């Protein structure tokens, strides 16, 4: 795998035209690298070519309206046409350029389909087609077909072959400079939107209004979000995936927002938590969490174990709970007896890219052998050692979730907890702070999120 270096300082973001031109150059390099990777995949799996579909639009049941379309990640890692259905990309062992098939039909009812950014089209041999039979004429005799649906019946035996899927997922772990810049730019666009959401919360807006402020600030439609905006006020901050946003304003105490932006099919994934009263204990807990989160960010590196860093995060969450008199035992006891887990029930982070929870986190090799999570932490998404040019999220959290707390209170370790102190924090819900980190080839760490927030001030 190429040993890429950070390229942030090379791009002329102050000049949109120059930035677009430089992104196009990075994209050409990205495609060249992807061709080399996929030719290795073809050699390893015995196929002559790989055909990747963007996917098809889906109609709502018994209706003439379609759901919002989003191209699948296997297509998006090659082609930044996230909203264009019916496309195919053909990568062969011999061709110097992939062949991109674009469905082109006369349509007076809808907006013209999404097109490639200027300069990106040079990476492909572009073929416009009207029926899938025209695509079939270009196919060879040994084609692996990657797509959600199989409209090419002739390839039924080679539709989503696992040997090829594993190879693709494994190579996606290391991101090219173009991919890194996409996630970097997605962080830059998300940072001011996070600030707008915070301002809306302070102004007393409802959760729906806060989400609207976020969308307006990053100039995006809701369907363009990489995932549904999580905007939890007060107790809702303890709901890990709070998507059913309330329309009525609430007396503000606390606010957690988990939201990103998508750039050329690549996502940012950022969480911040705020206290309405800057002098409250909850505000002080957020401040300490921020310090602990940065300490965890610094633990990344090539060859480092995400499992080990997660265990360390459990200890740091226990330290926070001890500092605020929630726990009456040592951090070691809290982790050993899984008491910390009642306040921190998820993993520390995950890979990030075309998938918000990107692939390859548990792959031991390109053949698909799995490194399962430890029995104590079965929900961890990442177990494989970190590699160069990987992008990770780091998102420790502490939550006061009534359902978990009731089980803890009824169990053998109930006396380990200061329940009157817990009752004070339950109305605030919880805290999560999440940054996106690149592990560079020289083993340096780049915090895309902190840089984005610093640049948006």
Among the three residues 130, 160, 190, which one is the final residue of a domain in this structure? 160
Say if 172 falls within a structural domain.
Answer: no
Confidence band for 153, pLDDT divided at 50, 70 and 90:
confident
Q: Which of 149, 171, 205 is nearest to 40 (CA)?
A: 171
Q: What is the pLDDT of residues 226-266, one digit of tens each?
A: 999 999 999 999 999 999 999 999 899 999 999 999 999 99
Q: What pLDDT is attached to residue 4?
A: 38
Residues 135 and 191 in one domain: no
CA–CA dist 93, 252 (Å, integer)? 59
Residues 282 and 211 in one domain: yes
Strands of the sheet with 270-275, listed across from one edge: 230-233, 254-259, 270-275
Say if 355 falls within a structural domain.
Answer: yes
Residues 232 and 373 in one domain: yes
DSSP string, 66-103: BPPP---HHHHTT---TT--S-EEEEESS-SS-EEEEE
Per the structure, the complete domain to which residue 216 belongs is given by: 177-455
Tokens describing residue 298: 């610094």
Confidence band for 155, pLDDT divided at 50, 70 and 90:
confident
Contacts of 416 (CB under 8 A, 6+ apart): 327, 328, 329, 333, 334, 337, 339
The CATH number given to whatever domain includes residue 283 is 3.90.230.10
CA–CA dist 72, 54 (Å, integer)? 6
Residues 108 and 246 in one domain: no
Say if 118 falls within a structural domain.
Answer: yes
CA–CA dist 54, 82 (Å, integer)? 8
Q: What pLDDT is attached to residue 2?
A: 38
Q: What pLDDT is attached to residue 3?
A: 38
What integer is the mean pLDDT of 102-118?
88
Integer distance in angstroms from the first to the last C-alpha of the chain?
A: 36
Lowest mean pLDDT among 125-139, 147-161, 239-253, 435-449: 147-161
Q: What pLDDT is attached to residue 1?
A: 35
Whether 6 has a pLDDT exceeding 50, the answer reads no
Confidence band for 10, pLDDT divided at 50, 70 and 90:
low
Residues 130 and 231 in one domain: no
Residues 142 and 276 in one domain: no
Residues 221 and 367 in one domain: yes
As a whole number, the mean pLDDT across the chain is 94
Percent of the chain with pLDDT over 70: 97
Lowest mean pLDDT among 135-144, 153-162, 233-242, 448-457: 153-162
Whether 14 has a pLDDT exceeding 80, the answer reads no
Residues 283 and 325 in one domain: yes
- Kindly calculate the radius of gyration of the chain based on its CA atoms and give it in whole angstroms: 23
What integer is the mean pLDDT of 88-114?
89
What integer is the mean pLDDT of 82-94?
94
Residues 286 and 252 in one domain: yes
What integer is the mean pLDDT of 359-381?
92
What integer is the mean pLDDT of 362-367?
95
Q: What pLDDT is attached to residue 8?
A: 44
Tokens describing residue 351: 């890979």
Percent of the chain with pLDDT over 90: 87
Say if 1 falls within a structural domain.
Answer: no
Q: What is the pLDDT of residues 394-443, one digit of tens each?
A: 999 999 999 999 999 999 999 999 999 999 999 999 999 999 999 999 99
Residues 187 and 142 in one domain: no
Say if 2 falls within a structural domain.
Answer: no
- Tell me the torsion sign for CA atoms 363, 368, 373, 378: positive
Lowest mean pLDDT among 63-67, 388-392, 435-439: 63-67
CA–CA dist 267, 354 (Å, integer)? 6
Residues 152 and 218 in one domain: no
Say if 171 falls within a structural domain.
Answer: no
What integer is the mean pLDDT of 79-85?
95
Confidence band for 204, pLDDT divided at 50, 70 and 90:
very high
Say if 167 falls within a structural domain.
Answer: no
Residue found under tokens 């997922």 = 169
Q: CA dist 398 to 28, 234, 321, 351, Å?
A: 43, 14, 8, 21
The CATH number given to whatever domain includes residue 12 is 3.40.350.10
Say if 170 falls within a structural domain.
Answer: no
Instruction: Count up the domains in the chain and report the number.
Output: 2
Residues 69 and 184 in one domain: no
């Amino acid at each position: 795998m190429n040993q890429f270096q950070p390229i942030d300082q090379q791009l002329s973001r102050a000049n949109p035209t120059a930035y677009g031109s430089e992104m196009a150059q990075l994209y050409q390099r990205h495609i060249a690298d992807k061709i080399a990777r996929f030719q290795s995949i073809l050699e390893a799996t015995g196929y002559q070519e790989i055909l990747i579909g963007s996917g098809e639009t889906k109609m709502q049941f018994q209706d003439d309206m379609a759901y919002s379309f989003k191209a699948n990640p296997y297509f998006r890692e090659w082609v930044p046409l996230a909203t264009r259905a019916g496309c195919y990309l053909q990568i062969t062992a011999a061709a110097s350029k992939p062949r991109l098939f674009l469905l082109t039909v006369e349509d007076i009812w809808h907006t013209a389909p999404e097109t490639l950014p200027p300069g990106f089209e040079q990476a492909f041999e572009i073929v416009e087609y009207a029926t899938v039979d025209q695509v079939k004429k270009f196919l060879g005799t040994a084609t692996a077909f990657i797509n959600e649906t199989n409209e090419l019946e002739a390839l039924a035996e080679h539709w989503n072959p696992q040997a090829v899927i594993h190879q693709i997922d494994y190579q996606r772990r290391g991101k090219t400079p173009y991919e890194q810049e996409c996630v970097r730019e997605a962080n830059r666009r998300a940072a001011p939107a996070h600030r707008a959401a915070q301002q809306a919360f302070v102004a007393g807006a409802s959760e729906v209004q806060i989400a609207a402020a976020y969308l307006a600030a990053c100039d995006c439609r809701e369907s363009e979000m990489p995932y549904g905006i999580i905007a939890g006020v007060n107790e809702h901050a303890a709901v890990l995936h709070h998507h059913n946003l309330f329309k009525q304003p609430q007396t503000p105490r606390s606010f957690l927002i988990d939201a990103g932006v998508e750039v050329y099919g690549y996502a940012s994934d950022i969480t911040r938590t705020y206290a309405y009263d800057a002098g409250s204990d909850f505000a002080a807990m957020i401040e300490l969490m921020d310090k602990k989160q940065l300490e965890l960010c610094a633990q990344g590196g090539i060859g480092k174990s995400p499992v080990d860093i997660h265990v360390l995060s459990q200890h740091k969450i226990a330290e926070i709970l001890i500092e605020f008199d929630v726990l009456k035992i040592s951090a070691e006891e809290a982790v050993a007896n899984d008491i910390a887990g009642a306040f921190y029930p998820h993993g520390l982070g995950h890979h990030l890219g075309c998938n918000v929870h990107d692939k390859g986190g548990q792959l031991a090799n390109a053949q698909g052998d799995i490194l399962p999570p430890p029995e104590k932490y079965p929900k961890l998404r990442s177990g494989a050692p970190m590699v160069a040019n990987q992008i990770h999220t780091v998102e420790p959290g502490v939550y006061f979730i009534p359902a978990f707390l009731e089980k803890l209170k009824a169990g053998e370790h109930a006396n380990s907890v200061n329940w009157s102190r817990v009752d004070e924090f339950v109305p605030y819900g919880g805290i999560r702070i999440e940054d996106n980190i690149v592990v560079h080839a020289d083993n340096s760490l780049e915090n895309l999120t902190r840089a984005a927030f610093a640049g948006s001030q």
